[in-house]
Chains A and B, each alone.
Chain A
Amino acid sequence: MATVNEVIDTTIDDPGNRTPLVIGGHDYGSITRLVCGINESKTPIAWYIGMLMSLSLLGMLGGLVGYLIFTGVGVWGNNNPVYWGFPIVNFVFWVGIGHAGTLISAILFIFRQNWRTSINRFAEAMTIFAVVCAGLFPGIHIGRVWVFYWLFPLPSLQLAMWPQFRSPLLWDVFAVSTYATVSLIFWYTGMIPDLATLRDRTDNKILRIVYSVLSLGWTGSARAWSRYEKAYTLFAALAAPLVLSVHTIVSFDFAVSQLPGWHTTIFPPYFVAGAVFSGFGMVLTLMVPARQWFGLKDVVTLRHLENVCKILLATGSMVGYAYAMEFFIAWYGGNMYEGFAFINRAFGPYWWAYWIMVSCNVISPQLFWFKVCRTTPWLMFVISIFVNIGMWFERFVITVTSLARDFLPSSWGMFEPTWVDYGMLIGSFGLFFTLFLLFVRFGPIVAMAEVKSVMPHPHSPVHDDPQAAADHA
């Protein structure tokens, strides 16, 4: 039945032959069984262990958020002069991670990179959950969380005030909430056909009702597919500029201020490159173990991982270029405060953070120049962890070093994070992994319909019939 050529090593490029995206001699039915089997099989013990760990971290996060709300933001280390501490660092870190998902689903779609179909669902889910983690921090950081709606332009008779549309922080509210909404409906729209597949396969009555409601009665009608594909293209066309705008606007939070080290025009592209870099780092961190545990090696082949490594190499080098260019402009611009800010970054009291950032973000991805590093999963996993660490430190360096030492030495001070700061950072991973584990258990983690559409068509009886072949032509 399967006519696909068996190719063991898909990482070798043969110009005369298109490398198959799915290996292992799969047909449409076996792809369905492979992916749905993850949801339909008995829940593995490892899942319970992972869920227990994630839930305990999530519980800790919940407790800390409660403590924060009842006590006040003083439980954090945010204080004069570093008023923006861990919350904004964590916010930018998580928002950045989200960008890879949208990039894979939107920009790679526009560029017709068909290999994206194997990993896009996974990455989109990562986007949603990362944005949830990101949204938490500005949400709780406002102090009086019960009036969070003041962030939005809601009419009120009792408040003689209105959001300030000329402030980058308000642009940020709009950008991130738009990003969260669009990512969510994009992700959901992509899942409708796969949810229908799960609906049609399950025997469990409750799950059947849940999947039926979620799949909205999708039948796979050609007329529906026609509109669906148009909608998907439109989504991609909208999400591509959106994803670029979101981290641009996040960088405006910094760049529109007048603090040395922040007030630079390189910030928007530099932030976007960093976001894509960190996001792909997280994709690797999640994908390498997941393809192993869920037996997805035929769908997420080594070639897919190699492509992600290449993107990491490219964006990591862009980030390195941005670090160098910041230093160059600080010197070339001739502003003494700017010059000091960068010397202070690399050799001041936070020198360790700076060099962690440089070694993780600039040096470690350079290993991907070597093919052996791009094709050894455990090695890429290790590097991806370094990338995650480095990108968190990048935001820490940008936020804290500039605030700790700005203009007047009399107003300098050091930032001292509290145990609540550390707890919330760790707890946010609990939130992320809890959502992720729920998704891999109950949702379609590979876009089955999309993978089937990029597989070669099986042999058809029409090709044996001369009359039909003529009609078809």
Chain B
Amino acid sequence: MSEEANNTEPKLIGLMAQFDDPDSLLAACEKVRKAGYTKTDAYTPFPLHGIDEALGIKPTILPWIVLTLGVMGGFAGLGLQYVTNADWYPFIISAKPVWSLPANIPVIFELVILHSAIAVFIGMLFLNKLPTFSNPLFRVPEFARATDDKFFLTIDVNDDKYKPNKTRELLDGLIGQTDVIEVFEDPSPAELPKIIKFVGIAATVVAVVPPILLWRAYYQTSTVPRINPIRDMDVQLRGDTQTISPVFADGRTMRPRIPGTVARGEWVDPIMLTGIVPEIGGEQNVIFLQEEDTPEEGADKPAEDEKPAEDKPAAEEAEGQQPMADDAPAEDKPAEEAPAAEEKPADGEAAAEPEEPEPNWVKIAPISVTKATLERGRQRYNIYCSVCHGLAGDGDGLVSQRALQLEQPTWIPPTNLHTDYLLTQPDGKLYNTITHGIRKMKGYGDQIPAEDRWAIVTYVRALQKTRTGTPEEIPAVEMKELEIKGQ
């Protein structure tokens, strides 16, 4: 054994008497205590009643520790709920008050129990100096039965009353003792082996690095997108616009409106939408719905764009007119007829007839004309129209100028907005042209809301007035300003 290696006598630290039954141990404890020994202890396989008095063990302070921690747990529960629910996050849920004691009792109660129970556990271990894995008693072979069926009484050599021979005699004289054993100090080195130290330090370092990295990442900004190991709802199955959907029979992800319906909040006066005064008793709802919807055609040709302007039956059925519109773009007359074919795109029967009567165009824009409307119209016109038609409406926009400069053969010069034909056109027809386009001009119905299209119509009227108006029509006040500016 190692004491031979150290070549030193192991130090005696105590004497131990062994007993076979608990009553002998109790009597022995009593006797030893009466003899004045205090640094004593008994070892039993189960808690022995009466040994506290026999050995003179004082009551433990554990209950006070538990009480303190339990009360602290209660206040922690109370404070946690008050600070967070009533102060930091005062959300009102189910009309419950942000702070109400009855609703907070369960959590307070549970935290009292939790804190107390942990205090019992930790407190008991702490007071018993556990865990202690190295104990000289474990080196005594007989002591293994202390947890089985034997009972032991020890006296420490540091006891004031300890005298080598006298104490030994006392133990030998105890009734029921079966053996007296000397307990020696543990001679093995108290220091931890180097390998354990090394592994411990390495493990600590390794354990600390990831939290530090996480902490750094948490508090720093970065130019690269964050790493998102769990995508949650960032990536999910959904139908994007302009994609094919496996769900619907027609393969469209973007759903056309159901015929004969109008979405909530999207109802617009048909006159406002089409610029046409519907016939009394006619299918006025159908007219404005069909202006944007083409359900039957859409179902037939799923992959194609659903814009009404491009899959109009009129384009195919009224073939005689379409080339005319393309061939004689600058002329006014075909221009009159082309929109006529487009006005009721889904109304196949009407569109098929070449001599379709002019619809009942609205004469004057169905919006109130104010300065704000005109200003809005000017702004929209400058954005959408002026590039071709020119800021003043002369058909000399920058795009047009450039196209002519490049001598583009397919270029059809934009219409001069100051021609007589346009001057006499009803507002509704002008509006219809903006909405659906004419000849090479595309329709702007999808880009410009109806209100703004009417605003553009009124602005175009104002532009025209700048050429046709007479000084008498100008109010006196405005005239004065103009005169001042003119000078």
Residues of A within 8 A of B31 (CB): 468, 471
A453 to chain B, nearest CB (A): 4
Residues of B within 8 A of A146 (CB): 230
Taking a contact as CB atoms under 8 Å apart, the answer to whether A165 and B81 are in contact is yes
Instruction: Check if B243 is an interface residue, CB within 8 A of chain A.
Output: no
Residue of B nearest to A195 (CB): B147
Taking a contact as CB atoms under 8 Å apart, the answer to whether A235 and B120 are in contact is yes
Q: Contact partner of A218 among B42, B55, B147, B149, CB < 8 A? A: B147
Taking a contact as CB atoms under 8 Å apart, the answer to whether A460 and B23 are in contact is yes
Residue of A nearest to B123 (CB): A231
State A193–B146 Cα separation when bound (angstroms): 10
Instruction: Check if B148 is an interface residue, CB within 8 A of chain A.
Output: yes
Taking a contact as CB atoms under 8 Å apart, the answer to whether B120 and A225 are in contact is no
B99-142 Cβ-contact flags toward A at 8 Å (1 or 0): 01001101101110110111011011101101111110110000
Taking a contact as CB atoms under 8 Å apart, the answer to whether B22 and A200 are in contact is no
Instruction: Check if B158 is an interface residue, CB within 8 A of chain A.
Output: no
Taking a contact as CB atoms under 8 Å apart, the answer to whether B55 and A28 are in contact is no
Instruction: Check if A340 is an interface residue, CB within 8 A of chain B.
Output: no
Interface residues in A171-212 (C-beta closer than 8 Å to B) = 171, 174-175, 178, 181-182, 185-186, 189, 193, 196-197, 199-201, 212
Q: Contact partner of B27 among A197, A212, A453, A462, CB < 8 A? A: A462
Instruction: Check if B41 is an interface residue, CB within 8 A of chain A.
Output: yes
| Total A-B Cβ pairs within 8 A | 233
Residues of B within 8 A of A160 (CB): 89
Taking a contact as CB atoms under 8 Å apart, the answer to whether A200 and B135 are in contact is no
Interface residues in A231-267 (C-beta closer than 8 Å to B) = 231, 234-235, 238-239, 241-242, 245, 249, 252
Quick one: given A178-B114, A229-B47, are A200 and B145 in contact (CB under 8 Å)?
Answer: yes
Number of chain B residues whose Cβ lies closer than 8 Å to a Cβ of chain A:
79
Instruction: Check if B60 is an interface residue, CB within 8 A of chain A.
Output: yes
Residue of B nearest to A31 (CB): B149
Residues of A within 8 A of B27 (CB): 462, 468, 471-472
Taking a contact as CB atoms under 8 Å apart, the answer to whether A28 and B45 are in contact is yes
Instruction: Check if B175 is an interface residue, CB within 8 A of chain A.
Output: yes
Taking a contact as CB atoms under 8 Å apart, the answer to whether B93 and A166 are in contact is yes
Taking a contact as CB atoms under 8 Å apart, the answer to whether A166 and B103 are in contact is yes
State A249–B42 Cα separation when bound (angstroms): 45
Taking a contact as CB atoms under 8 Å apart, the answer to whether B22 and A457 are in contact is yes
Instruction: Check if B467 is an interface residue, CB within 8 A of chain A.
Output: no
Most buried by A among B20, B45, B130, B218: B45
Taking a contact as CB atoms under 8 Å apart, the answer to whether A197 and B147 are in contact is yes
B45-63 Cβ-contact flags toward A at 8 Å (1 or 0): 1111101100101011011
A3 to chain B, nearest CB (A): 10
A70 to chain B, nearest CB (A): 11
Taking a contact as CB atoms under 8 Å apart, the answer to whether A216 and B144 are in contact is no
Taking a contact as CB atoms under 8 Å apart, the answer to whether B132 and A217 are in contact is yes
Q: Contact partner of A453 among B24, B46, B145, CB < 8 A? A: B46
B106 to chain A, nearest CB (A): 4
Instruction: Check if A459 is an interface residue, CB within 8 A of chain B.
Output: yes
Taking a contact as CB atoms under 8 Å apart, the answer to whether A234 and B93 are in contact is no
Taking a contact as CB atoms under 8 Å apart, the answer to whether A461 and B46 are in contact is no
State A453–B51 Cα separation when bound (angstroms): 13
B219 to chain A, nearest CB (A): 9
Q: Contact partner of B111 among A174, A239, A241, CB < 8 A? A: A174
A198 to chain B, nearest CB (A): 9
Instruction: Check if A161 is an interface residue, CB within 8 A of chain B.
Output: yes
Interface residues in B1-59 (C-beta closer than 8 Å to A) = 20-24, 26-27, 29-31, 34, 41-49, 51-52, 55, 57, 59
A183 to chain B, nearest CB (A): 9
Taking a contact as CB atoms under 8 Å apart, the answer to whether B62 and A230 are in contact is yes
Residues of B within 8 A of A18 (CB): none
Interface residues in A145-180 (C-beta closer than 8 Å to B) = 146, 153, 157, 160-168, 170-171, 174-175, 178
Taking a contact as CB atoms under 8 Å apart, the answer to whether B43 and A238 are in contact is no
Residues of B within 8 A of A452 (CB): 45-46
Taking a contact as CB atoms under 8 Å apart, the answer to whether B103 and A165 are in contact is yes
Residue of B nearest to A165 (CB): B81
Residues of A within 8 A of B46 (CB): 28, 193, 225, 448-450, 452-453
Name 20 interchain pairs, CB-CB below 8 A, sorted by A. Answer: A29-B149, A32-B149, A170-B107, A174-B106, A182-B113, A196-B147, A197-B147, A217-B133, A222-B42, A223-B57, A226-B47, A226-B57, A229-B47, A231-B121, A239-B117, A242-B117, A245-B106, A449-B46, A457-B22, A460-B23
A→B interface (CB under 8 Å): 27-29, 32, 144, 146, 153, 157, 160-168, 170-171, 174-175, 178, 181-182, 185-186, 189, 193, 196-197, 199-201, 212-213, 216-231, 234-235, 238-239, 241-242, 245, 249, 252, 448-450, 452-453, 457-463, 465, 468, 471-472
Other CB < 8 Å A-B pairs besides A219-B143, A221-B42, A461-B175, 13 of them? Answer: A153-B80, A162-B88, A164-B91, A166-B94, A166-B103, A168-B106, A186-B117, A193-B147, A200-B147, A218-B130, A234-B116, A235-B117, A449-B47
Sort A-B residue pairs by CB-CB distance and give the 8 closest, nearest first: A460-B23, A28-B149, A216-B131, A231-B124, A29-B149, A171-B106, A222-B42, A200-B144
